[in-house]
Homo-oligomer: A and B are copies of this chain.
Amino acid sequence: MKLGIVGSGKVGSALGAWAAKAGYQVAFTSRNESHARDAAQHAGHSAKALPLRELIDESRLILLTLPYAEVKKALGPMREHLGRKTLVDVTNPVTPDYKSLALGHTTSGAEEIARLFLDANIVKAFNAVFAEVYVSQNPKIGGQTISIFFAGDDVEAKERVGELIERMGFDPVDAGPLQNARYLEPLSLLNIHLGRVLGFGTHIGLALLRDGRP
C-alpha cells in the first residue's frame, strides 16, 4: 500500500517512519525539499522524497501533516489531482498560540453559566460519561479506571470537585480553566455518538493514559 505524507515536519516525519516500518511504501513531500529527503532517509524501508504532484499521483492514501492554515495554499492548485484520493486530515485549526481552535469553537455551556452566576465558582465535570455508568457505581471498565475531566477557574472549588471524583473511585484529571469546557463538552458528544449511534453501548469511558501525575 502506497502512503503519501504531505508535510515533513515532526508529525509527518514520525508518522511516515512508523508506517514505513509497518510495511507501507512511503513517500514524503515538503515545501522545503531537503526536509522531505531527511524524512525519507530517517524512515528508511525504501521511503522516498517526491514532488507534491508525483506524490499525489502515486499515493492512494495521503496524510496531511502540514499546518491547517497552509492546506489551501499548498493543495488548492492540486485540486483536480486529489479527486478520489483518500486524504487523512491530521491538522488542527489552532490559533497561533496553540491555546484554542481558530474556528468552530467560540464558547461553552459552562462559560455561559458562569456569566449567569458571576459570584459562584463553576466547575465543569461528569459531563461525558453515560448515566448508566453512574448507575452501576463501578468506575472501572475492563479493570481500567475511567478518567473524569474537570475544568474551572477557582482552585479551592476544583479541589472539592476533584475530591468528590476521587472518592467515587474515578480518576480525576484537572483539565485547566473553565474555558476548557469547550473541549470537554465535545467529549460528551463523542461519547454519545460512540455509545448510541456507533454501537459501543453505554458502558464506555475515556481514560487518560500517562506515566504519572503532574
Known: A87-B123, A160-B61, A209-B205. A198 touches B214 (CB 8 A): yes
Contact B209 A167 (CB under 8 A): no
Say which residue of B123, B176, B182, B210 sits within 8 Å of A203 (CB atoms). Answer: B210
Docked pose: A174 CA to B200 CA in angstroms:
10
Docked pose: A15 CA to B131 CA in angstroms:
8
Say which residue of B91, B109, B135, B190 sits within 8 Å of A10 (CB atoms). Answer: B135
Interface flags for A77-113 (1: CB within 8 Å of B; 0: not) read: 0010011111111111110001111011111111011
How many chain A residues touch B (CB < 8 A): the figure is: 116
Instruction: Report how many copies the assembly holds.
Output: 2
B residues within 8 A CB of A207? 144, 206-207, 209
Chain A residues close to B by CB (< 8 Å): 1, 3, 9-11, 14-15, 17-19, 21-24, 60-61, 63-64, 68, 71-72, 75-76, 79, 82-94, 98-101, 103-110, 112-113, 116-117, 119-128, 131, 134-135, 137, 141-142, 144, 146, 149-150, 154, 156-157, 160-161, 164, 167-169, 173-176, 180-190, 192-194, 196-201, 203-211, 214
